[in-house]
Copies of this chain bind each other. A is one copy, B any other.
Amino acid sequence: MGTNSDRSVGPASQKRGRRARDSLSRAIILEAAEKIATSEGLESLTFQALGKELSAHPTSIYRHFRDKDELVLELIDSLRSRSYGGNLQKTGSWRDDLRLISRHVREHYLRYPQLAFQMAARTTRRPMEFANVEFALDALLRAGLSPDEAVLHLRAFGNVVRSLSSMEASLLALDAETRKRDELAWEVEYRQLPAEEYPHIASLAGQLTGVGDPRIFDLAIELILDAIELHVSRRPVTPAEPEH
C-alpha cells in the first residue's frame, strides 16, 4: 500500500490523488473519449489513454461501461447527433438534395474513420437515420421515380454513398506509412509493369491515381444521378406527380 498516512489530504495536495467518489460518470467519460478520438484518432482511444485523460485508473471505466464496445457504440450515437444537426434543408432540386446528403454522410464518416465501417453496415433505427431516409426518399420521388423504383434506388444510392464513404474513411484509418506505400504504388510500381502483358496500364500508368483520390466519390455520385435522370427522362408517361 502507498504510505499515504494522512488520508485527509489538503486541497492542493492531490499527489496520490484517488479521484473523489462519484466524480466519474458515463457523460464525463464520453466527453473525454470524444476529445481523444477527435484529436488523436480513434485508434488512440484506449483505456489507458482514457485513464490518463481523466486522471483516473484505466479500469475505473469498467464501473460505468460493461466493455469497450458499449463505450464505442455510445460514443457513435453522441457524435452523430452532433455532426448531423438540422442541416437537411430541401433546395428544390432533387439532384442538389441527394448531392447534399451524400456529402454530409461522407464528411461525417471521414471525421470518424474508425467508426465508419460500423456506421455503414448497421441499422441504427434512430431519429437521424429516419430523417435521412425520409429526405432521400422525397428527393427520389421528386425526381420522378415511381414508389417501387424509389425504394430500390434509395438503397442503391444509399449503399453506394455509405460504402464508398466507409472505404475512403478506412484508408484514413490505416497508419500513415501503410497508406503512403499503397498510394505510391500507383505512381511507382504500376509504371514498371511490362507493356506486353499490361498494355493499357503501361500507357496510362502516369495518370493512374490512388484509390483514395477524393474526386472518385463525386464522380460516382454524379454517375448515379445521371443514370436516374436518364431513366426518368426515358419514361413514356410521367406518373401521377403530386408536385405542385
A134 contacts across to B, CB distance below 8 A: 197-201
Q: Is the CB of B207 within 8 A of A148?
A: yes
- In the complex, the answer to whether B216 meets A223 with C-beta atoms within 8 Å is no
Whether the pair A159, B170 counts as a contact (CB closer than 8 A) is no
With contact pairs A166-B167, A227-B224 given, residues A219 and B121 touching in the complex (Cβ less than 8 Å): no
Asked if A156 is at the interface of the complex by the 8 Å CB criterion, the answer is yes
For A158, the chain B residues whose CB sits under 8 A away are 211
Q: Is the CB of A152 within 8 A of B201?
A: no
B211 touches A141 (CB 8 A): no
Contact of A201 among B120, B133, B166, B200 (CB under 8 A): B133
Residues of chain B with a CB closer than 8 A to A199's CB = 134
Q: Nearest residue in B to A186 (C-beta to C-beta)? A: B123
- Across the interface, A204 reaches (CB within 8 A) one of B120, B147, B190, B197, namely B147
Contacts of A152 in B (CB 8 A): 209, 213, 215-216, 219
Residues of chain B contacted by A226 (CB below 8 angstroms): 226-227, 230-231
Query: A226-B227, A228-B223 are contacts. A160–B171 as well, Cβ < 8 Å?
Result: no
Q: Are A121 and B155 in contact (CB under 8 A)?
A: no
Q: Does chain B have a CB within 8 A of A28?
A: no
Q: Is A84 an interface residue (CB 8 A)?
A: no
Q: Would you call A138 an interface residue if the criterion is a C-beta within 8 Å of the partner chain's C-beta atoms?
A: yes
Known: A138-B200, A147-B207, A223-B224. 17 other contacts (CB 8 A): A121-B211, A123-B186, A125-B185, A125-B190, A130-B198, A131-B198, A133-B198, A151-B204, A151-B209, A156-B220, A156-B223, A159-B164, A160-B160, A160-B163, A162-B167, A163-B163, A163-B164
